A and B are shown apart, each in its own frame.
Chain A
Amino acid sequence: AQKITQTQPGMFVQEKEAVTLDCTYDTSDPSYGLFWYKQPSSGEMIFLIYQGSYDQQNATEGRYSLNFQKARKSANLVISASQLGDSAMYFCAMREDAGGTSYGKLTFGQGTILTVHP
């Protein structure tokens, strides 16, 4: 079963508008973390935002916010005021604690290509 599902292969948004990229996850581990990364055409993965499963508030980093709905197992990324430079592939990823045995292992979704139009 897919642990991370990104159902939107591609998304389009007008410059300066907000956009939401969907991510649902599947885990039975009570302790886990969710990440969003941006990958421009250059290939480098750029860390955007992190949300821990026990965090009470939704994570925010500048124009990025993570809409964390634990009961629905969703962790959508919201980008406000889109810019042309936001055009890239976006990946949702999960780290499961596995009883403290798994620290640096991320499971990634298939990604969503975001295109920002002027």
Chain B
Amino acid sequence: KAGVTQTPRYLIKTRGQQVTLSCSPISGHRSVSWYQQTPGQGLQFLFEYFSETQRNKGNFPGRFSGRQFSNSRSEMNVSTLELGDSALYLCASSLGWGQGSYEQYFGPGTRLTVT
């Protein structure tokens, strides 16, 4: 079974631009969560999607948004990029609500650099 895939793996953007990151969960998994990892703040939860609905949101500004498609693939978007948005963005997939399993499996991440 293929694991979680994230594209692109590396990205360099300029301040003020916007970026879209993509995550394809493990086949059969319906829940996708996004995390931001930085040396200073560590791993922080961004948001979680299940059945195309945002179920939870972390403490991030509105510039960070996401969505989930009917095939469970998810995208996150960051608008008006700031230098502090430079981070490793990790996506995790799991079976989903009511499925009796809470194990989350992470993708390789997208490393975003904002210059």
- Size class of the contact patch on chain A: 20 to 34
Residue of B nearest to A103 (CB): B97
Q: Are B43 and A108 in contact, CB atoms less than 8 angstroms apart? A: yes
B-side contacts of A93, CB under 8 Å: 43
Q: Are A33 and B90 in contact, CB atoms less than 8 angstroms apart? A: no
Q: Are B102 and A44 in contact, CB atoms less than 8 angstroms apart? A: no
Shortest distance between the CB of B54 and any CB in chain A (Å)? 11
Q: Are B102 and A45 in contact, CB atoms less than 8 angstroms apart? A: no
A43/B104 contact (C-beta < 8 A), A108-B43, A111-B42 known: no
A-side contacts of B102, CB under 8 Å: 33, 50, 52, 95, 103
Q: Are A43 and B33 in contact, CB atoms less than 8 angstroms apart? A: no
Residue of B nearest to A109 (CB): B42
Contact of B31 among A37, A101, A103, A108 (CB under 8 A): A103
Question: Could you tell me which A residues sit within 8 Å of B by CB distance?
Answer: 33, 35, 37, 42-47, 50, 52, 91, 93, 95, 101-111
Question: Could you tell me which B residues sit within 8 Å of A by CB distance?
Answer: 31-33, 35, 42-45, 48, 50, 55-56, 58, 88, 90, 92, 94, 96-97, 102-109, 111
